[in-house]
Structure 1
């Protein structure tokens, strides 16, 4: 054991020492040998991946023909199919139903009144759990009306009501197919990895080319982004159904179809609702990004405010998304934990009281709205705005604390960011490939080491080594700081239940805030640059570090803690010698999720001046260059996959060593 520890320590020290020497003296080595290829991959040998992908998409759109239609006809038909229910929901929620076009359009039916929407939302929440959840949901939707965000919120709601069913049902069907066929699951897993790790910006351009500019293209991109968790949850949930339940289904003579839809899916429904919850949250997280290719609503309001540097308007619209996310998150969680209720007998009203009440509210408000306009549309003179408050607050902070912020920024830049950036950007591409392979091989085996080397070789051959190193540097520093802050907070939350409720509540808020919302106050306080990007990434990626640390400590078996007390351990010794070692696998999984969120946020921080892969993806979006965006997105995905596999392998190894 001692020999293994000595050898392992020597391996890591040696790997770091060689990397540091090469990164520090790569320029001198290049000059001495007159070999530019040491630092930068030779231009003549770079892969033409970008041009090939762009050419493929051009061929699909312009030249690909099936028997009776073109590929463009197929995508446009899909877009038209999605647009029908989407437009119906927009009409139902906010625009009303019209006959005719343009100036000749005549309204034949109004939209649902704001009171009806709030009333139905309250009834759904009450049905899902209890009156308190109904009250919370009602307050959240009332906030949208009172603060003047109702119209935009209903456009966003229409998108959510289309994207979530498509993502949930599509994910369920793919998950069922993967459960039935292990081969299909193996083939599907790499695509799920790419869908979850390729930055959203990277596939906005292909979606835009294939489906055109508008809300339908935004919905397609949203479904691609939000579907993978549902697929993964479905596979895990179906595999977790107890064998006794399956055996009971076989004994009563269930066919394969009946076994799936009448036994397995109902038994796994609580876990499947967790997947639906994830689809909802990812859909809401996508609304701002989707507004770049034609989605309106709250996402467009936030994006427009960011472009105008309108602090108050951006924060106000962002908070409206948060409020909507809180309501939908709590309701979907309530449905996930809801038990089976008894079926009522008697008349229709007794058997379906919730549906009957909803119908009565809709009809009642529709009739009253014809005579009292305030019932149909929330009065504008009663709306409240917090925009000036947020703008004034940021201005006051800037005036009074500008020097302090600049001093902190300078210290962090000179003491942390710039040295780490110099280290990573100085690593020669050839050694970077080898070092990554050795690192992955040591933690996850030779197969992962080989895969990591191939991924890094692709990055080098794509001409993006320098930008990749900047991405790794920013992500590494941000993850380090998020873990440094998050793990102690998680320990505090686990050890002090009262503080835990506050801390975990704050993490709920941070997780529901759209990623773009972080950029507005950060840019106003710290200007653009790497420091602002780092602050935004740390805030966005902090929650998993806190949650997994708290969960891991709470999952430590009570009998082990009691054994420590009986052995005379102090509370400090119990924490550092029993709880934290046993919680290490959860801490590593929290690190994994922190890395994933940091990488996803880095693409968005390209808007504040970072020069990494995120900037490359964003430039591709502005130029509508699908090849450039997909190649840069694949580079980010490969970094994420390497990190995910290595950290998971480290967590599994730690579990085995602890006998868990």
Structure 2
């Protein structure tokens, strides 16, 4: 008892100190709020002084396109040449899978590979690499494309992905190796990666469009930029994780730096590198709808046109096609990585069991299919009479929901708008930027020191002095509300998943679907149920950003050491006490990382929700794209990136402090 009393007493000065600090800080912010409202430059810089970053960037882009010359060719000629080189493999794959081609010096037209041959070849590859379950998945995924009339568009999308993914992997691997070998390069590359991952995709669609022209190649380049950063980061981490004894062995064997890299470090890091490969594949497929806005075509264009027509059935069918394509490629790449880890004797046994090698069998099936369709061209196309259409079902479902649940849904919408969303929006929009920036900087200083505080204040000042403060606060209100609701839903689901293996199996399937379903797809049913506006945008963001809150909560709770739980049980704690006083406190750092990822996904959804009537930074980026205003788009994109980086830095600093207090770091 005396020990407890001593500990409690020893904590009182710290508690009082913290209380006094935040009380004084709050009072200071209130005073700053009142003072700043009297001075335009501290309240809203648009009245007094703005930095013309957007005009400078637009002028720089005009100089690159119109005036920069290298003597024999201009900068525009260089970018168009790069586009032409990249178009060659893309044209070849598109012709092979989707459009067919005409033989040179003749008028003979060659049909693309038939649907049944591609399905059979993918089933064969799945069986050879991953067994019967993977073969069944390949069949279900690719047969769906044919049965629901998504084949042509899916093959166009697949052609683009098959070109973009290897390029993204090679460049990502190269930059990762460069950063690993040279610390100076890493200091330059890391901030660029932060920007590439947090700037909205729409912001760099426009410069890519200006430099490389409209079409599939520009869309593919934008996809590479979007999908490459995880490969760079994974490469750096993987190479640094190579065991030291392997490096010592290489040194003792007399390996040169190049031999050390290619014969020891990269092979040892292969498993981790496959995670990066997987991320490149998934992000490339996640990009297909946005890329369709600058000419990508394929499934992305189908979803986009369905969204404009509010055709929920067509959009869902195309969205599910993207999801199945992503899952199929993801599982195939994972199975390939697992097979590469198998021992050589086992592989040799497989070869004796099935004499035909996987590449040879794959090509043979495609050739046989091509020969069959050459003799019977009608077999190349899936029969129209067997095509399924779920559009009427989904349209009728939405109609029934509107008829029977409209009053309930409208009441929920009105309550959240009147009592939560609109008051929060007014508070943030009317607050002077200096007071908000000072408050954020103060929190950063308290968590991690002066450097973080200065960084956060500088990012806030950039947003204010480029004239985007009001739209940034609308973005904060919209994303903040969405993140809170997503966490209130996702964290309890994560707790349930961690407590029940049966529930985890069902929840994992739902979360996988939510993460692979294209972001545009969420807008269609939401708009049809709630019309356009902030509430519809909020619901779409919640659905899109829900998954990390569930996953990280589940992971964090299952990472709590078993001996800690046993000790709590022996101490007589009930299951509820173990959850609230042991598991959740120890899992808090993981849960906060999930909150961080939820914020990142919410911000990435901002530009998409601009299509349903929001007036935030996302709308600013979208307007810049429609007006071909490069500077406006990039500046608004940087503002979104700075909001994301602010949240990331604050939550990261808090999580690190929490780990130190719990002695987890």
- TM-score calculated relative to the size of structure 1: 0.95
Alpha-carbon distance change, 444 to 512 in structure 1, aligned in 2, over 3 angstroms: same
Alpha-carbon distance change, 461 to 346 in structure 1, aligned in 2, over 3 angstroms: closer
Q: Which residue in the other structure is 2:401 paired with?
A: 397
Q: Which residue in the other structure is 2:543 paired with?
A: 539
Instruction: Tell me if structure 1 keeps the 8 A contact 2:172–2:228.
Output: yes
Report the Cα offset of residue 99 of structure 1: 3.9
* CA–CA distance in structure 1, aligned partners of residues 609 and 238 of structure 2: 35
SS of residue matched to 1:370: helix
Q: Which residue in the other structure is 1:557 paired with?
A: 561
Equivalent residues in 2 for 1:14-25, closer than 5 Å: 15=25
Alpha-carbon distance change, 504 to 12 in structure 1, aligned in 2, over 3 angstroms: farther
SS of residue matched to 2:70: coil
Pick which of 502-511 and 309-318 moved more.
309-318
Alpha-carbon distance change, 612 to 13 in structure 1, aligned in 2, over 3 angstroms: farther
Q: Which residue in the other structure is 2:582 paired with?
A: 578
Match of 1:60 among 51, 58, 64: 64
Instruction: Tell me if structure 1 keeps the 8 A contact 2:545–2:598.
Output: yes
1:490 aligns with 2:491: no
* CA–CA distance in structure 2, aligned partners of residues 411 and 452 of structure 1: 34
Deviations 1:83-131 (A, max 9, x none): 000000001101112147xxx9834432211122112222332333222
Report the Cα offset of residue 294 of structure 1: 0.5
Report the Cα offset of residue 595 of structure 1: 0.7
Report the Cα offset of residue 401 of structure 1: 1.4
Root mean square deviation, CA, Å = 2.1
* CA–CA distance in structure 1, aligned partners of residues 352 and 63 of structure 2: 57
Pick which of 186-195 and 338-347 moved more.
338-347
1:49 aligns with 2:53: yes
* CA–CA distance in structure 1, aligned partners of residues 509 and 63 of structure 2: 50
SS of residue matched to 2:178: helix
Equivalent residues in 2 for 1:63-462, closer than 5 Å: 63-99=67-103, 106-338=107-339, 339-342=341-344, 344=348, 353-462=357-466
SS of residue matched to 1:47: coil
Deviations 1:128-152 (A, max 9, x none): 3222111111111100000000000
1:3 aligns with 2:5: no
* CA–CA distance in structure 1, aligned partners of residues 513 and 41 of structure 2: 48
Instruction: Tell me if structure 2 keeps the 8 A contact 1:545–1:594.
Output: yes
Equivalent residues in 2 for 1:488-637, closer than 5 Å: 488-637=492-641
Report the Cα offset of residue 643 of structure 1: 1.0
SS of residue matched to 1:528: coil
Alpha-carbon distance change, 483 to 361 in structure 1, aligned in 2, over 3 angstroms: same
- TM-score calculated relative to the size of structure 2: 0.94
Report the Cα offset of residue 503 of structure 1: 1.1
Alpha-carbon distance change, 134 to 644 in structure 1, aligned in 2, over 3 angstroms: same
Instruction: Tell me if structure 2 keeps the 8 A contact 1:75–1:210.
Output: yes
* CA–CA distance in structure 2, aligned partners of residues 68 and 394 of structure 1: 60
Pick which of 49-58 and 248-257 moved more.
248-257
- Where does structure 1 lack aligned partners over 5 or more consecutive residues? none
Pick which of 561-570 and 375-384 moved more.
375-384
Alpha-carbon distance change, 354 to 10 in structure 1, aligned in 2, over 3 angstroms: same
Instruction: Tell me if structure 1 keeps the 8 A contact 2:41–2:49.
Output: no
SS of residue matched to 1:611: coil
Report the Cα offset of residue 390 of structure 1: 1.2
Alpha-carbon distance change, 366 to 99 in structure 1, aligned in 2, over 3 angstroms: closer
Pick which of 309-318 and 267-276 moved more.
309-318
Report the Cα offset of residue 251 of structure 1: 2.4
SS of residue matched to 1:542: helix
Pick which of 362-371 and 382-391 moved more.
362-371
Report the Cα offset of residue 444 of structure 1: 2.4
* CA–CA distance in structure 2, aligned partners of residues 347 and 474 of structure 1: 57
Deviations 1:16-65 (A, max 9, x none): 67667877x79xx85xx5x5445311444200100000000000001111
Instruction: Tell me if structure 1 keeps the 8 A contact 2:103–2:110.
Output: no
Instruction: Tell me if structure 1 keeps the 8 A contact 2:197–2:229.
Output: yes
Q: Which residue in the other structure is 1:473 paired with?
A: 477
Pick which of 566-575 and 541-550 moved more.
566-575
Alpha-carbon distance change, 106 to 471 in structure 1, aligned in 2, over 3 angstroms: same
Instruction: Tell me if structure 1 keeps the 8 A contact 2:589–2:658.
Output: yes
Instruction: Tell me if structure 2 keeps the 8 A contact 1:167–1:223.
Output: yes
Deviations 1:397-418 (A, max 9, x none): 1122111111110011112111
Report the Cα offset of residue 67 of structure 1: 3.5
Instruction: Tell me if structure 1 keeps the 8 A contact 2:156–2:298.
Output: yes
Instruction: Tell me if structure 1 keeps the 8 A contact 2:41–2:48.
Output: no
* CA–CA distance in structure 1, aligned partners of residues 556 and 476 of structure 2: 27
- Tell me the number of residue pairs that the alignment of Structure 1 and Structure 2 aligns: 651
- Where does structure 2 lack aligned partners over 5 or more consecutive residues? 1-10
Alpha-carbon distance change, 22 to 540 in structure 1, aligned in 2, over 3 angstroms: farther
* CA–CA distance in structure 1, aligned partners of residues 321 and 117 of structure 2: 19
SS of residue matched to 1:45: coil
Instruction: Tell me if structure 1 keeps the 8 A contact 2:40–2:47.
Output: no
Alpha-carbon distance change, 346 to 432 in structure 1, aligned in 2, over 3 angstroms: closer
Instruction: Tell me if structure 1 keeps the 8 A contact 2:195–2:641.
Output: yes
Q: Which residue in the other structure is 2:7 paired with?
A: none
SS of residue matched to 2:45: coil
Instruction: Tell me if structure 2 keeps the 8 A contact 1:96–1:107.
Output: no
SS of residue matched to 2:113: coil
* CA–CA distance in structure 2, aligned partners of residues 389 and 598 of structure 1: 30
Report the Cα offset of residue 356 of structure 1: 2.5
Report the Cα offset of residue 579 of structure 1: 0.9
